[in-house]
Structure 1
Protein backbone atom coordinates (compact mmCIF):
# COMPACT_ATOMS: atom_id res chain seq x y z
CA UNK A 1 0.00 0.00 0.00
CA UNK A 2 2.81 2.38 0.93
CA UNK A 3 4.67 1.50 -2.27
CA UNK A 4 1.59 2.32 -4.36
CA UNK A 5 1.15 5.70 -2.66
CA UNK A 6 4.84 6.42 -3.26
CA UNK A 7 4.53 5.70 -7.00
CA UNK A 8 1.41 7.87 -7.29
CA UNK A 9 3.10 10.75 -5.45
CA UNK A 10 6.15 10.57 -7.71
CA UNK A 11 3.98 10.41 -10.83
CA UNK A 12 1.90 13.42 -9.74
CA UNK A 13 5.07 15.41 -9.01
CA UNK A 14 6.46 14.69 -12.47
CA UNK A 15 3.20 15.67 -14.19
CA UNK A 16 2.96 18.91 -12.21
CA UNK A 17 6.46 20.07 -13.19
CA UNK A 18 8.25 19.02 -16.35
CA UNK A 19 5.18 17.76 -18.23
CA UNK A 20 3.22 20.92 -17.47
CA UNK A 21 6.15 23.03 -18.65
CA UNK A 22 6.28 20.97 -21.85
CA UNK A 23 2.59 21.58 -22.47
CA UNK A 24 2.91 25.29 -21.66
CA UNK A 25 5.92 25.87 -23.92
CA UNK A 26 4.21 23.98 -26.75
CA UNK A 27 1.17 26.26 -26.45
CA UNK A 28 3.51 29.26 -26.37
CA UNK A 29 5.03 28.13 -29.67
CA UNK A 30 1.54 27.71 -31.10
CA UNK A 31 0.53 31.22 -30.02
CA UNK A 32 3.69 32.95 -31.29
CA UNK A 33 3.57 31.28 -34.71
CA UNK A 34 -0.18 31.89 -34.85
CA UNK A 35 0.44 35.63 -34.39
CA UNK A 36 3.29 35.68 -36.90
CA UNK A 37 1.47 33.90 -39.71
CA UNK A 38 -1.67 35.95 -39.14
CA UNK A 39 0.27 39.22 -39.27
CA UNK A 40 2.00 38.24 -42.51
CA UNK A 41 -1.35 37.34 -44.08
CA UNK A 42 -2.93 40.67 -43.10
CA UNK A 43 -0.24 42.96 -44.54
CA UNK A 44 -2.26 43.50 -47.72
CA UNK A 45 -5.31 44.57 -45.69
CA UNK A 46 -3.18 46.95 -43.62
CA UNK A 47 -1.68 48.43 -46.80
CA UNK A 48 -5.15 49.21 -48.11
CA UNK A 49 -6.40 50.52 -44.76
CA UNK A 50 -3.66 53.14 -44.40
CA UNK A 51 -2.98 53.56 -48.15
CA UNK A 52 0.75 53.16 -47.51
CA UNK A 53 3.37 52.18 -50.13
CA UNK A 54 4.65 48.62 -50.39
CA UNK A 55 8.13 49.66 -49.24
CA UNK A 56 6.66 50.83 -45.94
CA UNK A 57 4.73 47.58 -45.59
CA UNK A 58 8.01 45.71 -45.93
CA UNK A 59 9.53 47.86 -43.18
CA UNK A 60 6.58 47.11 -40.90
CA UNK A 61 7.01 43.39 -41.57
CA UNK A 62 10.73 43.58 -40.83
CA UNK A 63 10.21 45.45 -37.57
CA UNK A 64 9.48 42.10 -35.90
CA UNK A 65 13.01 40.86 -36.62
CA UNK A 66 14.40 44.23 -35.51
CA UNK A 67 12.74 43.84 -32.10
CA UNK A 68 13.93 40.24 -31.87
CA UNK A 69 17.54 41.14 -32.65
CA UNK A 70 17.59 43.89 -30.03
CA UNK A 71 17.43 41.42 -27.14
CA UNK A 72 18.22 37.93 -28.42
CA UNK A 73 21.90 37.96 -27.34
CA UNK A 74 21.21 39.42 -23.89
CA UNK A 75 18.27 37.11 -23.21
CA UNK A 76 20.19 34.01 -24.33
CA UNK A 77 23.18 34.85 -22.11
CA UNK A 78 21.54 36.26 -18.97
CA UNK A 79 18.26 34.35 -19.21
CA UNK A 80 19.70 31.06 -17.94
CA UNK A 81 20.79 32.83 -14.74
CA UNK A 82 17.27 34.11 -14.07
CA UNK A 83 13.88 32.45 -13.53
CA UNK A 84 13.36 31.02 -17.02
CA UNK A 85 9.65 30.11 -16.81
CA UNK A 86 8.78 33.60 -15.55
CA UNK A 87 10.93 35.16 -18.30
CA UNK A 88 8.99 33.14 -20.89
CA UNK A 89 5.69 34.15 -19.29
CA UNK A 90 6.65 37.82 -19.42
CA UNK A 91 7.61 37.38 -23.07
CA UNK A 92 4.17 35.96 -23.87
CA UNK A 93 2.49 38.89 -22.12
CA UNK A 94 4.66 41.35 -24.06
CA UNK A 95 3.63 39.63 -27.31
CA UNK A 96 0.00 40.06 -26.29
CA UNK A 97 0.58 43.75 -25.60
CA UNK A 98 2.23 44.11 -29.01
CA UNK A 99 -0.72 42.49 -30.79
CA UNK A 100 -3.17 44.73 -28.92
CA UNK A 101 -1.15 47.82 -29.83
CA UNK A 102 -1.25 46.79 -33.48
CA UNK A 103 -5.05 46.62 -33.42
CA UNK A 104 -5.41 50.00 -31.65
CA UNK A 105 -5.52 52.18 -34.83
CA UNK A 106 -8.88 50.69 -35.77
CA UNK A 107 -10.45 52.19 -32.64
CA UNK A 108 -8.72 55.57 -33.04
CA UNK A 109 -9.32 56.12 -36.76
CA UNK A 110 -12.43 57.13 -38.66
CA UNK A 111 -14.32 54.59 -40.74
CA UNK A 112 -12.65 53.24 -43.84
CA UNK A 113 -13.85 55.00 -46.99
CA UNK A 114 -13.22 53.36 -50.32
CA UNK A 115 -13.19 55.04 -53.71
CA UNK A 116 -16.35 54.72 -55.76
CA UNK A 117 -14.39 54.67 -59.06
CA UNK A 118 -11.61 52.25 -59.93
CA UNK A 119 -8.79 53.96 -61.79
CA UNK A 120 -7.16 52.50 -64.85
CA UNK A 121 -3.78 50.82 -65.19
CA UNK A 122 -1.06 53.11 -63.85
CA UNK A 123 1.84 51.23 -65.44
CA UNK A 124 1.33 52.82 -68.89
CA UNK A 125 -0.05 55.99 -70.42
CA UNK A 126 -3.06 54.19 -71.85
CA UNK A 127 -4.92 50.95 -71.38
CA UNK A 128 -6.77 48.67 -73.75
CA UNK A 129 -10.45 47.89 -73.28
CA UNK A 130 -13.18 46.35 -75.39
CA UNK A 131 -16.56 47.74 -76.20
CA UNK A 132 -18.78 45.74 -78.53
CA UNK A 133 -15.75 43.64 -79.56
CA UNK A 134 -13.99 46.85 -80.74
CA UNK A 135 -10.57 47.72 -79.31
CA UNK A 136 -10.45 51.28 -78.02
CA UNK A 137 -7.51 53.15 -76.49
CA UNK A 138 -8.39 55.51 -73.67
CA UNK A 139 -5.79 57.90 -72.26
CA UNK A 140 -5.08 57.80 -68.57
CA UNK A 141 -3.06 59.92 -66.22
CA UNK A 142 0.68 59.42 -65.85
CA UNK A 143 2.19 57.20 -63.13
CA UNK A 144 3.16 60.25 -61.08
CA UNK A 145 -0.51 60.99 -60.52
CA UNK A 146 -0.94 57.62 -58.77
CA UNK A 147 1.55 58.19 -55.95
CA UNK A 148 -0.11 57.01 -52.76
CA UNK A 149 -1.00 59.60 -50.16
CA UNK A 150 -0.85 58.13 -46.66
CA UNK A 151 -4.25 58.65 -45.07
CA UNK A 152 -3.06 58.54 -41.47
CA UNK A 153 0.07 58.11 -39.39
CA UNK A 154 -1.69 55.49 -37.28
CA UNK A 155 0.36 52.86 -39.11
CA UNK A 156 3.12 53.75 -36.61
CA UNK A 157 1.12 51.82 -33.98
CA UNK A 158 1.31 48.75 -36.19
CA UNK A 159 5.05 49.23 -36.65
CA UNK A 160 5.79 49.68 -32.93
CA UNK A 161 3.41 46.88 -31.96
CA UNK A 162 5.10 44.47 -34.34
CA UNK A 163 8.48 45.42 -32.91
CA UNK A 164 7.22 44.84 -29.36
CA UNK A 165 5.87 41.47 -30.46
CA UNK A 166 9.36 40.59 -31.69
CA UNK A 167 10.84 41.62 -28.34
CA UNK A 168 8.31 39.45 -26.51
CA UNK A 169 9.09 36.38 -28.59
CA UNK A 170 12.82 36.59 -27.81
CA UNK A 171 12.96 34.45 -24.61
CA UNK A 172 10.55 31.71 -25.71
CA UNK A 173 12.78 29.55 -27.89
CA UNK A 174 16.25 29.81 -26.25
CA UNK A 175 15.03 29.63 -22.65
CA UNK A 176 12.31 27.06 -23.34
CA UNK A 177 14.59 24.63 -25.16
CA UNK A 178 17.40 25.02 -22.61
CA UNK A 179 14.96 24.38 -19.73
CA UNK A 180 13.85 21.12 -21.34
CA UNK A 181 17.42 20.00 -22.04
CA UNK A 182 18.53 20.76 -18.48
CA UNK A 183 15.83 18.78 -16.66
CA UNK A 184 14.72 16.07 -19.11
CA UNK A 185 16.38 12.71 -19.58
CA UNK A 186 18.87 12.74 -22.42
CA UNK A 187 16.84 10.07 -24.25
CA UNK A 188 13.57 12.00 -23.75
CA UNK A 189 14.87 15.45 -24.68
CA UNK A 190 14.57 14.98 -28.50
CA UNK A 191 11.01 13.73 -28.07
CA UNK A 192 10.01 16.74 -25.97
CA UNK A 193 11.63 19.17 -28.40
CA UNK A 194 9.76 17.39 -31.20
CA UNK A 195 6.47 18.15 -29.41
CA UNK A 196 7.46 21.81 -29.15
CA UNK A 197 8.36 22.00 -32.85
CA UNK A 198 5.01 20.38 -33.67
CA UNK A 199 3.37 23.33 -31.94
CA UNK A 200 5.40 25.66 -34.16
CA UNK A 201 3.96 23.87 -37.20
CA UNK A 202 0.36 23.85 -35.97
CA UNK A 203 0.39 27.57 -35.13
CA UNK A 204 0.67 28.87 -38.72
CA UNK A 205 -2.18 26.59 -39.76
CA UNK A 206 -4.53 28.24 -37.25
CA UNK A 207 -3.10 31.65 -38.16
CA UNK A 208 -3.90 31.21 -41.85
CA UNK A 209 -7.39 29.94 -41.07
CA UNK A 210 -8.02 32.95 -38.83
CA UNK A 211 -6.66 35.29 -41.52
CA UNK A 212 -8.93 33.71 -44.12
CA UNK A 213 -11.94 34.29 -41.89
CA UNK A 214 -11.07 37.88 -40.95
CA UNK A 215 -10.25 38.81 -44.55
CA UNK A 216 -13.85 38.04 -45.51
CA UNK A 217 -15.28 40.21 -42.71
CA UNK A 218 -15.54 43.93 -43.48
CA UNK A 219 -13.13 46.10 -41.51
CA UNK A 220 -15.87 48.28 -39.97
CA UNK A 221 -18.19 45.40 -39.10
CA UNK A 222 -20.57 46.48 -36.35
CA UNK A 223 -20.40 50.18 -37.16
CA UNK A 224 -21.73 50.03 -40.73
CA UNK A 225 -24.52 48.14 -42.43
CA UNK A 226 -22.77 45.55 -44.57
CA UNK A 227 -25.87 45.23 -46.74
CA UNK A 228 -25.23 48.75 -48.05
CA UNK A 229 -21.70 47.94 -49.23
CA UNK A 230 -21.09 48.06 -52.96
CA UNK A 231 -17.88 46.01 -52.80
CA UNK A 232 -17.17 42.38 -52.03
CA UNK A 233 -14.10 40.54 -50.66
CA UNK A 234 -12.93 39.96 -54.24
CA UNK A 235 -12.76 43.72 -54.90
CA UNK A 236 -9.32 45.37 -54.69
CA UNK A 237 -10.81 48.10 -52.49
CA UNK A 238 -12.04 45.65 -49.86
CA UNK A 239 -10.39 45.74 -46.44
CA UNK A 240 -10.96 42.87 -44.07
CA UNK A 241 -11.22 43.00 -40.28
CA UNK A 242 -7.46 42.74 -39.74
CA UNK A 243 -7.77 44.18 -36.21
CA UNK A 244 -10.14 41.47 -35.01
CA UNK A 245 -7.65 38.64 -35.45
CA UNK A 246 -4.96 40.67 -33.68
CA UNK A 247 -7.21 40.95 -30.63
CA UNK A 248 -7.64 37.18 -30.67
CA UNK A 249 -3.87 36.71 -30.94
CA UNK A 250 -3.36 39.10 -28.03
CA UNK A 251 -5.76 37.11 -25.85
CA UNK A 252 -4.18 33.78 -26.78
CA UNK A 253 -0.67 35.05 -25.99
CA UNK A 254 -1.70 36.35 -22.57
CA UNK A 255 -3.53 33.11 -21.70
CA UNK A 256 -0.52 30.96 -22.62
CA UNK A 257 1.63 33.04 -20.25
CA UNK A 258 -0.33 32.09 -17.11
CA UNK A 259 1.16 28.60 -16.42
CA UNK A 260 4.76 29.86 -16.54
CA UNK A 261 4.29 32.06 -13.47
CA UNK A 262 3.53 28.98 -11.35
CA UNK A 263 6.48 26.84 -12.42
CA UNK A 264 9.70 26.60 -10.36
CA UNK A 265 13.05 28.06 -11.35
CA UNK A 266 14.73 24.65 -11.30
CA UNK A 267 13.56 21.04 -11.37
CA UNK A 268 15.04 17.74 -10.34
CA UNK A 269 16.59 15.98 -13.31
CA UNK A 270 14.02 13.64 -14.80
CA UNK A 271 14.59 10.09 -13.51
CA UNK A 272 16.38 11.24 -10.36
CA UNK A 273 14.86 11.48 -6.90
CA UNK A 274 14.52 14.86 -5.30
CA UNK A 275 15.27 15.64 -1.63
CA UNK A 276 11.71 14.88 -0.52
CA UNK A 277 11.83 11.41 -2.07
CA UNK A 278 15.22 10.69 -0.45
CA UNK A 279 13.91 11.84 2.92
CA UNK A 280 10.80 9.66 2.60
CA UNK A 281 12.93 6.65 1.65
CA UNK A 282 15.11 7.10 4.73
CA UNK A 283 12.07 7.41 6.97
CA UNK A 284 10.52 4.27 5.47
CA UNK A 285 13.74 2.31 5.99
CA UNK A 286 13.94 3.41 9.61
CA UNK A 287 10.32 2.41 10.19
CA UNK A 288 10.95 -1.00 8.62
CA UNK A 289 14.03 -1.55 10.81
CA UNK A 290 12.06 -0.64 13.93
CA UNK A 291 9.32 -3.06 12.92
CA UNK A 292 11.84 -5.86 12.39
CA UNK A 293 13.37 -5.24 15.80
CA UNK A 294 9.96 -5.25 17.44
CA UNK A 295 9.05 -8.47 15.64
CA UNK A 296 12.31 -10.06 16.82
CA UNK A 297 11.67 -9.04 20.40
CA UNK A 298 8.12 -10.39 20.22
CA UNK A 299 9.25 -13.74 18.84
CA UNK A 300 12.00 -14.01 21.52
CA UNK A 301 9.40 -13.66 24.20
Structure 2
Protein backbone atom coordinates (compact mmCIF):
# COMPACT_ATOMS: atom_id res chain seq x y z
CA UNK A 1 0.00 0.00 0.00
CA UNK A 2 1.02 3.61 -0.50
CA UNK A 3 1.90 6.20 2.07
CA UNK A 4 -0.53 8.53 3.82
CA UNK A 5 0.17 10.98 1.01
CA UNK A 6 -1.56 8.64 -1.43
CA UNK A 7 -4.15 6.99 0.81
CA UNK A 8 -5.36 10.34 2.13
CA UNK A 9 -4.03 12.84 -0.41
CA UNK A 10 -5.40 11.15 -3.54
CA UNK A 11 -9.04 11.00 -2.36
CA UNK A 12 -8.78 14.61 -1.15
CA UNK A 13 -7.35 15.73 -4.50
CA UNK A 14 -10.08 13.86 -6.40
CA UNK A 15 -12.73 15.30 -4.05
CA UNK A 16 -11.56 18.84 -4.80
CA UNK A 17 -11.56 18.11 -8.54
CA UNK A 18 -15.10 16.69 -8.43
CA UNK A 19 -16.26 19.57 -6.21
CA UNK A 20 -14.84 21.97 -8.81
CA UNK A 21 -16.80 20.09 -11.47
CA UNK A 22 -19.97 20.50 -9.39
CA UNK A 23 -19.35 24.26 -9.08
CA UNK A 24 -19.57 24.48 -12.87
CA UNK A 25 -22.75 22.39 -13.21
CA UNK A 26 -26.45 23.17 -12.98
CA UNK A 27 -29.51 21.00 -13.50
CA UNK A 28 -29.76 22.64 -16.91
CA UNK A 29 -26.60 20.79 -17.95
CA UNK A 30 -28.47 17.52 -17.43
CA UNK A 31 -31.59 18.86 -19.15
CA UNK A 32 -29.50 19.90 -22.16
CA UNK A 33 -28.98 16.22 -22.92
CA UNK A 34 -32.54 16.11 -24.28
CA UNK A 35 -31.62 18.68 -26.94
CA UNK A 36 -29.05 16.37 -28.51
CA UNK A 37 -30.31 12.85 -27.71
CA UNK A 38 -28.70 11.21 -30.74
CA UNK A 39 -25.23 12.61 -30.03
CA UNK A 40 -25.51 11.70 -26.35
CA UNK A 41 -26.73 8.14 -26.97
CA UNK A 42 -23.97 7.45 -29.51
CA UNK A 43 -21.31 8.86 -27.17
CA UNK A 44 -22.63 6.80 -24.25
CA UNK A 45 -22.78 3.68 -26.40
CA UNK A 46 -19.13 4.14 -27.33
CA UNK A 47 -18.14 4.89 -23.73
CA UNK A 48 -20.07 2.12 -21.98
CA UNK A 49 -20.09 -0.72 -24.53
CA UNK A 50 -17.52 -0.29 -27.27
CA UNK A 51 -14.50 0.92 -25.27
CA UNK A 52 -14.58 -1.83 -22.61
CA UNK A 53 -14.76 -4.38 -25.44
CA UNK A 54 -11.83 -2.71 -27.23
CA UNK A 55 -9.86 -2.57 -23.98
CA UNK A 56 -10.50 -6.25 -23.32
CA UNK A 57 -9.19 -7.08 -26.79
CA UNK A 58 -6.05 -5.00 -26.20
CA UNK A 59 -5.45 -6.65 -22.84
CA UNK A 60 -5.60 -10.07 -24.49
CA UNK A 61 -3.39 -8.91 -27.38
CA UNK A 62 -0.70 -7.50 -25.06
CA UNK A 63 -1.06 -10.45 -22.66
CA UNK A 64 -0.97 -8.28 -19.56
CA UNK A 65 -0.64 -9.89 -16.12
CA UNK A 66 -4.07 -10.32 -14.45
CA UNK A 67 -3.84 -7.39 -12.00
CA UNK A 68 -2.70 -4.99 -14.73
CA UNK A 69 -5.46 -6.31 -17.02
CA UNK A 70 -8.06 -5.45 -14.38
CA UNK A 71 -6.40 -2.04 -14.00
CA UNK A 72 -6.85 -1.38 -17.72
CA UNK A 73 -10.54 -2.32 -17.58
CA UNK A 74 -10.96 -0.09 -14.53
CA UNK A 75 -9.46 2.75 -16.57
CA UNK A 76 -11.74 1.99 -19.51
CA UNK A 77 -14.77 2.13 -17.19
CA UNK A 78 -13.78 5.53 -15.79
CA UNK A 79 -15.78 8.47 -17.19
CA UNK A 80 -14.33 11.51 -18.91
CA UNK A 81 -12.86 14.25 -16.77
CA UNK A 82 -12.88 18.03 -16.80
CA UNK A 83 -9.69 17.97 -18.93
CA UNK A 84 -11.89 16.85 -21.83
CA UNK A 85 -13.73 20.17 -21.65
CA UNK A 86 -10.45 22.07 -22.00
CA UNK A 87 -9.32 20.08 -25.04
CA UNK A 88 -12.75 20.43 -26.61
CA UNK A 89 -12.55 24.21 -26.17
CA UNK A 90 -9.04 24.33 -27.67
CA UNK A 91 -10.09 22.41 -30.78
CA UNK A 92 -13.52 24.03 -31.25
CA UNK A 93 -15.75 21.26 -30.01
CA UNK A 94 -19.20 21.68 -28.49
CA UNK A 95 -18.12 22.40 -24.91
CA UNK A 96 -21.73 22.55 -23.69
CA UNK A 97 -22.17 18.97 -24.88
CA UNK A 98 -18.92 18.03 -23.10
CA UNK A 99 -20.22 19.45 -19.84
CA UNK A 100 -23.50 17.57 -20.18
CA UNK A 101 -21.73 14.31 -21.05
CA UNK A 102 -19.35 14.71 -18.11
CA UNK A 103 -22.28 15.30 -15.77
CA UNK A 104 -24.22 12.31 -17.09
CA UNK A 105 -21.17 10.03 -17.19
CA UNK A 106 -20.29 10.88 -13.59
CA UNK A 107 -23.73 9.67 -12.49
CA UNK A 108 -23.75 6.54 -14.66
CA UNK A 109 -20.21 5.59 -13.60
CA UNK A 110 -21.43 4.94 -10.05
CA UNK A 111 -23.09 1.81 -11.46
CA UNK A 112 -21.03 0.92 -14.53
CA UNK A 113 -17.55 1.33 -13.03
CA UNK A 114 -18.06 -1.26 -10.24
CA UNK A 115 -19.89 -3.55 -12.69
CA UNK A 116 -17.12 -3.56 -15.32
CA UNK A 117 -14.38 -3.78 -12.69
CA UNK A 118 -16.03 -6.74 -10.94
CA UNK A 119 -16.51 -8.51 -14.28
CA UNK A 120 -12.82 -7.96 -15.07
CA UNK A 121 -11.81 -9.36 -11.67
CA UNK A 122 -14.07 -12.39 -12.24
CA UNK A 123 -12.40 -13.05 -15.62
CA UNK A 124 -8.75 -12.33 -14.79
CA UNK A 125 -8.62 -13.02 -11.03
CA UNK A 126 -11.25 -15.71 -10.43
CA UNK A 127 -11.59 -16.83 -6.84
CA UNK A 128 -9.72 -13.83 -5.41
CA UNK A 129 -11.97 -12.68 -2.57
CA UNK A 130 -9.57 -9.96 -1.42
CA UNK A 131 -10.29 -7.75 -4.42
CA UNK A 132 -13.50 -6.47 -5.97
CA UNK A 133 -16.11 -3.81 -5.34
CA UNK A 134 -18.69 -5.24 -2.96
CA UNK A 135 -21.68 -3.22 -1.74
CA UNK A 136 -19.78 -1.34 0.95
CA UNK A 137 -17.05 -0.45 -1.53
CA UNK A 138 -19.65 0.61 -4.09
CA UNK A 139 -20.92 3.07 -1.48
CA UNK A 140 -17.35 4.41 -1.27
CA UNK A 141 -17.34 4.83 -5.06
CA UNK A 142 -20.60 6.77 -4.80
CA UNK A 143 -19.11 9.00 -2.09
CA UNK A 144 -15.91 9.59 -4.07
CA UNK A 145 -17.59 10.27 -7.41
CA UNK A 146 -20.92 11.93 -6.72
CA UNK A 147 -20.93 13.45 -3.24
CA UNK A 148 -18.43 16.25 -4.05
CA UNK A 149 -20.22 16.95 -7.36
CA UNK A 150 -23.59 17.26 -5.63
CA UNK A 151 -22.06 19.50 -2.96
CA UNK A 152 -20.57 21.75 -5.64
CA UNK A 153 -23.90 21.94 -7.47
CA UNK A 154 -25.68 22.88 -4.24
CA UNK A 155 -23.15 25.65 -3.61
CA UNK A 156 -23.74 26.95 -7.15
CA UNK A 157 -27.49 26.87 -6.63
CA UNK A 158 -27.47 28.60 -3.24
CA UNK A 159 -24.47 30.91 -3.71
CA UNK A 160 -23.89 31.41 -7.45
CA UNK A 161 -21.63 34.43 -6.97
CA UNK A 162 -19.49 32.47 -4.50
CA UNK A 163 -19.36 29.53 -6.92
CA UNK A 164 -18.18 31.82 -9.72
CA UNK A 165 -15.53 33.37 -7.46
CA UNK A 166 -14.31 29.97 -6.26
CA UNK A 167 -14.23 28.29 -9.67
CA UNK A 168 -10.71 29.37 -10.65
CA UNK A 169 -9.11 28.97 -7.18
CA UNK A 170 -10.56 25.48 -6.83
CA UNK A 171 -9.24 24.49 -10.25
CA UNK A 172 -5.77 25.81 -9.44
CA UNK A 173 -5.77 24.16 -6.00
CA UNK A 174 -6.88 20.82 -7.43
CA UNK A 175 -4.09 20.86 -10.03
CA UNK A 176 -1.42 21.74 -7.44
CA UNK A 177 -2.61 19.13 -4.93
CA UNK A 178 -2.92 16.51 -7.64
CA UNK A 179 0.62 17.12 -8.92
CA UNK A 180 2.05 16.91 -5.39
CA UNK A 181 0.10 13.75 -4.55
CA UNK A 182 0.85 11.94 -7.82
CA UNK A 183 4.52 12.91 -7.57
CA UNK A 184 4.58 11.46 -4.06
CA UNK A 185 2.83 8.32 -5.28
CA UNK A 186 5.38 7.90 -8.08
CA UNK A 187 8.30 8.32 -5.68
CA UNK A 188 6.78 5.85 -3.20
CA UNK A 189 6.15 3.21 -5.88
CA UNK A 190 8.95 4.12 -8.29
CA UNK A 191 10.43 0.63 -8.56
CA UNK A 192 7.04 -0.92 -9.26
CA UNK A 193 6.21 1.77 -11.83
CA UNK A 194 9.54 1.47 -13.65
CA UNK A 195 9.22 -2.30 -13.78
CA UNK A 196 5.89 -2.02 -15.63
CA UNK A 197 6.17 1.30 -17.50
CA UNK A 198 7.56 -0.14 -20.73
CA UNK A 199 4.91 -2.87 -20.77
CA UNK A 200 2.10 -0.39 -20.15
CA UNK A 201 3.23 2.49 -22.38
CA UNK A 202 2.27 0.76 -25.63
CA UNK A 203 -1.18 -0.43 -24.58
CA UNK A 204 -2.14 2.84 -22.86
CA UNK A 205 -1.11 4.98 -25.84
CA UNK A 206 -2.91 2.66 -28.27
CA UNK A 207 -6.01 2.60 -26.07
CA UNK A 208 -5.99 6.41 -25.89
CA UNK A 209 -5.66 6.74 -29.69
CA UNK A 210 -8.45 4.24 -30.31
CA UNK A 211 -10.69 5.92 -27.72
CA UNK A 212 -10.21 9.34 -29.33
CA UNK A 213 -10.72 7.95 -32.84
CA UNK A 214 -13.85 6.02 -31.87
CA UNK A 215 -15.25 9.10 -30.13
CA UNK A 216 -14.80 11.16 -33.30
CA UNK A 217 -15.41 8.74 -36.18
CA UNK A 218 -18.43 6.81 -34.88
CA UNK A 219 -20.57 9.96 -34.32
CA UNK A 220 -19.53 11.27 -37.78
CA UNK A 221 -20.55 7.96 -39.35
CA UNK A 222 -23.99 8.51 -37.77
CA UNK A 223 -24.24 12.04 -39.20
CA UNK A 224 -23.46 13.88 -35.98
CA UNK A 225 -22.17 17.38 -36.76
CA UNK A 226 -18.44 17.97 -36.47
CA UNK A 227 -18.34 20.14 -33.33
CA UNK A 228 -20.33 17.55 -31.41
CA UNK A 229 -18.09 14.75 -32.74
CA UNK A 230 -15.03 16.64 -31.46
CA UNK A 231 -16.69 16.99 -28.05
CA UNK A 232 -17.54 13.28 -28.05
CA UNK A 233 -13.98 12.40 -29.05
CA UNK A 234 -12.35 14.14 -26.10
CA UNK A 235 -15.04 13.07 -23.66
CA UNK A 236 -14.55 9.43 -24.59
CA UNK A 237 -10.80 9.58 -25.24
CA UNK A 238 -9.71 11.40 -22.08
CA UNK A 239 -10.58 9.14 -19.17
CA UNK A 240 -10.51 10.27 -15.55
CA UNK A 241 -7.24 8.56 -14.66
CA UNK A 242 -7.25 10.12 -11.19
CA UNK A 243 -10.54 8.41 -10.39
CA UNK A 244 -9.16 5.05 -11.56
CA UNK A 245 -6.04 5.51 -9.40
CA UNK A 246 -8.11 6.40 -6.32
CA UNK A 247 -10.48 3.44 -6.80
CA UNK A 248 -7.56 1.03 -7.28
CA UNK A 249 -5.41 2.26 -4.40
CA UNK A 250 -7.84 3.39 -1.72
CA UNK A 251 -11.03 1.40 -2.41
CA UNK A 252 -9.72 -1.88 -3.80
CA UNK A 253 -6.34 -1.59 -2.08
CA UNK A 254 -4.01 -2.45 -4.96
CA UNK A 255 -1.21 -0.11 -5.99
CA UNK A 256 -0.30 -2.39 -8.90
CA UNK A 257 -3.84 -2.16 -10.27
CA UNK A 258 -3.48 1.63 -10.43
CA UNK A 259 -0.38 1.52 -12.67
CA UNK A 260 -2.21 1.51 -16.05
CA UNK A 261 -4.10 4.65 -15.04
CA UNK A 262 -0.90 6.27 -13.74
CA UNK A 263 0.95 5.69 -17.03
CA UNK A 264 -2.10 6.65 -19.09
CA UNK A 265 -2.62 9.80 -17.01
CA UNK A 266 0.80 11.11 -18.06
CA UNK A 267 0.77 10.07 -21.73
CA UNK A 268 -2.84 10.98 -22.59
CA UNK A 269 -2.12 14.73 -22.56
CA UNK A 270 0.38 14.40 -25.41
CA UNK A 271 -1.71 11.89 -27.36
CA UNK A 272 -4.88 14.01 -27.07
CA UNK A 273 -3.00 17.15 -28.11
CA UNK A 274 -1.59 15.44 -31.21
CA UNK A 275 -5.01 13.98 -32.05
CA UNK A 276 -6.59 17.43 -31.72
CA UNK A 277 -4.24 18.85 -34.33
CA UNK A 278 -4.97 15.91 -36.62
CA UNK A 279 -8.75 16.32 -36.57
CA UNK A 280 -8.45 20.10 -36.78
CA UNK A 281 -6.59 19.67 -40.06
CA UNK A 282 -9.07 17.17 -41.51
CA UNK A 283 -11.40 18.15 -44.30
CA UNK A 284 -14.85 19.23 -43.22
CA UNK A 285 -16.40 16.75 -45.71
CA UNK A 286 -15.18 13.68 -43.80
CA UNK A 287 -18.29 11.68 -42.88
CA UNK A 288 -20.52 14.69 -43.78
CA UNK A 289 -23.91 15.09 -42.22
CA UNK A 290 -26.94 15.13 -44.48
CA UNK A 291 -27.20 18.91 -44.17
CA UNK A 292 -23.48 19.37 -44.97
CA UNK A 293 -23.86 17.10 -48.00
CA UNK A 294 -26.81 19.13 -49.30
CA UNK A 295 -24.91 22.38 -48.84
CA UNK A 296 -21.90 20.94 -50.67
CA UNK A 297 -24.08 19.78 -53.56
CA UNK A 298 -25.72 23.18 -53.78
CA UNK A 299 -22.32 24.85 -54.13
TM-score interval, smaller chain: 0.3 to 0.5
More helix by share: 2
How does the TM-score come out when normalised to structure 1?
0.36
Q: Which has the larger radius of gyration?
A: 1
